[in-house]
């Protein structure tokens, strides 16, 4: 039955495969996915990917948290809403636009006067997600005293707070700074009272800093961002001759990169890209190994018969009774395995699985064919008959199953990751879904967090499914007729 498939050869099969619309689509998707994984492995080497993914907050500190991917920005742009991107201003980068710094010694004293002014244009229709200032200071005995102020486009100036860096590197998280929030609350209240309104739902730091100063300020739900040029001013008093302060202001946006970021500010592009080679190799290795081991075991069982056959038959029954998924989960949970050991466990838990019975029946049929008898008559060894005459004959019918089974293993890995049992280091799609689920992406409306890895999983699954189904029709011509 498989002979035609064999004689077609690889080129022939490919040609037939492309003749099917779904088969051709599957091949196109698969080629694209393979190319993308090769690019990924070359562009972001394994060690770098793990380092980035496992990196402390330091690696990602300049990224916004849970930022939407850039395609959301384009989409929203069409609907007339311009989502904010991250704005950075840094005094150590002197060529940057919108940065002014002066540091002058006060004559006759050991003191220096610092003046930093960051200015930037804000033309977005939504508020930033967070505002941080990073300081790197040089000082000997006393730390500098810094006074930080905010100037809105209309010229309204708000004194935010006095800040004393405790260390060479210190940071000011404006968004969660209690003093700043207090100052801003009273500022907003004052403005509202002047308008004859009362505050209803208090504003967050970002909203208060960027609010249009009218009645809409009374509630966090109605407030609108004010467009124009903003200024952040840092005035400071420094002690000591070679004391100095550099500052970096980051106004975090709501969009970032191709795929957005997660709750740890990590760029999801890394996980989206690296999930691909992992998924492909995981699925293919699992499917290939399991199919071939089952093939060999089934052939031995069917060809030799006797006690070997009986033993293998009992083992398949044992495997039927063992609950596969609870067993796998148990092994993964107890032994905290990395992805390749999980792969090995999956293979071991599958080698005596379902495929054996049908292949064995096929082998028992083929065993009686005249050409096998002829081989036996001229003295071919059993090993030779099994490896050279039987296995090649039963190989074609199992290939579609092999390809079609790949997505199953890809989803199995994703499922384990979803349960929190995946590889602890590697960025996989399942882990991204797990993170998104655990951090309430669905409740909070971070749909991109769930949709992107899902899309990749589905794309991969369909590529193999399409090819598998088309191959099935090619090697089993009976399916084609009906």
Give 22 or 119: the residue with its C-beta nearer to other proteins: 22
Question: Which position among 464, 471, 474, 475 is part of the footprint of other proteins (CB under 8 A)?
Answer: 464
CB 84, min distance to other proteins, A = 24
Residues in 158-197 that interact with other proteins by CB under 8 A: none
Question: Which position among 47, 334, 378, 383 is part of the footprint of other proteins (CB under 8 A)?
Answer: 334
Look up residue 258 and give its DSSP letter. Answer: T
Residues in 5-64 that interact with other proteins by CB under 8 A: 22
**75 binds other proteins, rule: CB under 8 A:** no
Question: Which position among 465, 471, 474, 475 is part of the footprint of other proteins (CB under 8 A)?
Answer: 465
Q: Find residue 440's DSSP bridge partners.
A: none
Polymer length in residues for the chain: 482
**134 binds other proteins, rule: CB under 8 A:** no
Q: In what order do the strands lie in the sheet with 228-239?
A: 99-105, 111-122, 228-239, 145-151, 157-163
**348 binds other proteins, rule: CB under 8 A:** no
**325 binds other proteins, rule: CB under 8 A:** yes
CB 404, min distance to other proteins, A = 7
Distance CA 175, CA 128 (A): 10
Q: What is the 3-state secondary structure (H, E, C) of 379-446?
A: CCCHHHHHHHHHHHHHHHHHHHHHHHHHHHHHHHHHHHHHCCCCCCCCCCHHHHHHHHHHCCHHHHCC
Question: Which position among 418, 425, 439, 459 is part of the footprint of other proteins (CB under 8 A)?
Answer: 418
**353 binds other proteins, rule: CB under 8 A:** no
Q: Find residue 89's DSSP bridge partners.
A: 249
Element housing 87 (H / E): strand 87-90
**450 binds other proteins, rule: CB under 8 A:** yes
Residues in 285-314 that interact with other proteins by CB under 8 A: 314
Give 19 or 479: the residue with its C-beta nearer to other proteins: 479
First to last CA, the chain: 16
**323 binds other proteins, rule: CB under 8 A:** yes
CB 466, min distance to other proteins, A = 6
Question: Which position among 118, 466, 471, 475 is part of the footprint of other proteins (CB under 8 A)?
Answer: 466
Q: Which stretch binds other proteins (CB under 8 A): 111-119, 122-130, 250-258, 329-337?
A: 329-337
Give 303 or 446: the residue with its C-beta nearer to other proteins: 446
Burial of residue 439 (CB within 10 Å: 0-12, 13-18, 19+) is middle
Question: Which position among 99, 217, 331, 351 is part of the footprint of other proteins (CB under 8 A)?
Answer: 331
Question: Which position among 364, 408, 439, 459 is part of the footprint of other proteins (CB under 8 A)?
Answer: 408
Q: Hunting for tokens 């088309």 — which residue is that?
A: 470
**322 binds other proteins, rule: CB under 8 A:** yes
Backbone angles phi, psi at 126, to 5 degrees: -140, 165
Helix (H, G, I), strand (E, B) or coil at 211: strand
Q: Which stretch binds other proteins (CB under 8 A): 208-216, 225-233, 368-376, 449-457?
A: 449-457
Q: Find residue 134's DSSP bridge partners.
A: 171, 248
Question: Which position among 4, 179, 317, 373 is part of the footprint of other proteins (CB under 8 A)?
Answer: 317
CB 378, min distance to other proteins, A = 33
**335 binds other proteins, rule: CB under 8 A:** yes
Parallel, antiparallel or unpaired: strands 157-163 and 145-151: antiparallel
DSSP states along 289-312: HHHHHHHHHHHHHHHH-HHHHHHH
Tokens of 339: 């992805």
Give 375 or 467: the residue with its C-beta nearer to other proteins: 467
Q: Which stretch binds other proteins (CB under 8 A): 29-37, 215-223, 277-285, 316-324?
A: 316-324
Q: Hunting for tokens 């311009």 — which residue is that?
A: 82
Q: Hunting for tokens 């090619």 — which residue is that?
A: 474
DSSP states along 176-207: G-HHHHHHHHHHHHHHHHHTT----BPPPHHH
Distance CA 154, CA 230 (A): 9
Residues that bind other proteins (CB under 8 A): 22, 314, 317-318, 320-323, 325-327, 329-331, 333-335, 404, 407-408, 411, 414-415, 418-419, 433, 437, 442-443, 445, 447, 450-451, 454, 457-458, 461-462, 464-466, 468-469, 478-479, 482
């Amino acid at each position: 039955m498989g002979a035609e498939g064999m004689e077609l050869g690889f080129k022939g099969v490919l040609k037939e495969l492309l003749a099917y619309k779904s088969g051709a689509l599957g091949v196109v998707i698969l080629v694209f996915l393979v190319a993308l994984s090769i690019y990924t492995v070359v562009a972001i080497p394994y060690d770098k990917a793990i380092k980035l993914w496992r990196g402390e907050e330091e690696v990602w500190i300049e990224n916004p948290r849970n930022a939407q991917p850039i395609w959301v920005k384009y989409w929203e742009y069409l609907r007339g809403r311009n989502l904010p991107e991250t704005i950075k201003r840094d005094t150590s980068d002197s060529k940057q636009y919108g940065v002014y710094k002066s540091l002058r010694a006060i004559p006759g004293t050991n003191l220096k006067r610092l003046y930093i002014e960051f200015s930037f244009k804000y033309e977005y229709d939504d508020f930033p997600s967070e505002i941080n200032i990073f300081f790197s200071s040089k000082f000997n005995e006393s730390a500098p005293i810094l006074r930080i102020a905010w100037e809105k486009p209309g010229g309204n100036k708000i004194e935010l707070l006095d800040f004393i860096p405790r260390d060479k590197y210190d940071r000011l998280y404006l968004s969660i700074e209690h003093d700043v929030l207090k100052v801003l609350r009273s500022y907003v209240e004052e403005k509202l009272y002047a308008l004859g309104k009362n505050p209803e739902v208090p504003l967050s730091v970002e909203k208060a800093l960027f609010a249009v100063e009218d009645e809409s300020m009374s509630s966090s739900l109605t407030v609108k961002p004010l467009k124009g040029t903003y200024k952040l001013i840092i005035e400071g008093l420094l002690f000591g001759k070679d004391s100095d302060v550099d500052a970096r202001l980051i106004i975090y946006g709501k969009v970032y990169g191709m795929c957005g970021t997660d709750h740890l500010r990590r760029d999801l592009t890394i996980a989206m890209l690296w999930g691909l080679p992992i998924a492909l190799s995981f699925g293919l290795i699992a499917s290939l190994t399991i199919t071939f081991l089952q093939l060999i075991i089934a052939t031995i069982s069917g060809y030799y018969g006797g006690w070997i056959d009986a033993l293998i038959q009992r083992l398949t029954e044992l495997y039927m009774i063992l609950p596969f998924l609870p067993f796998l989960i148990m092994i993964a949970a107890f032994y905290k395995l990395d992805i390749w050991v999980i792969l090995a466990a999956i293979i071991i838990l599958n080698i005596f699985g379902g495929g054996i019975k049908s292949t064995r029946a096929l082998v028992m049929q083929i065993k009686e064919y005249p050409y096998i008898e002829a081989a036996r008559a001229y003295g071919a060894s059993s090993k030779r008959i099994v490896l050279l005459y039987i296995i090649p004959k039963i190989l074609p019918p199992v290939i579609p199953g092999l390809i079609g089974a790949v997505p199953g293993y890809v989803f199995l890995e994703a499922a384990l990751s979803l349960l929190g049992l995946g590889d602890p280091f590697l960025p996989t799609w399942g882990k991204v879904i797990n993170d998104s689920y655990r951090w309430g992406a669905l409740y909070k409306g971070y749909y991109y967090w769930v949709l992107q890895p899902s899309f990749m999983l589905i794309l991969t699954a369909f590529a193999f499914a399409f090819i598998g189904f088309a191959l099935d029709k090619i090697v089993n011509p009976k399916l084609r007729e009906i």
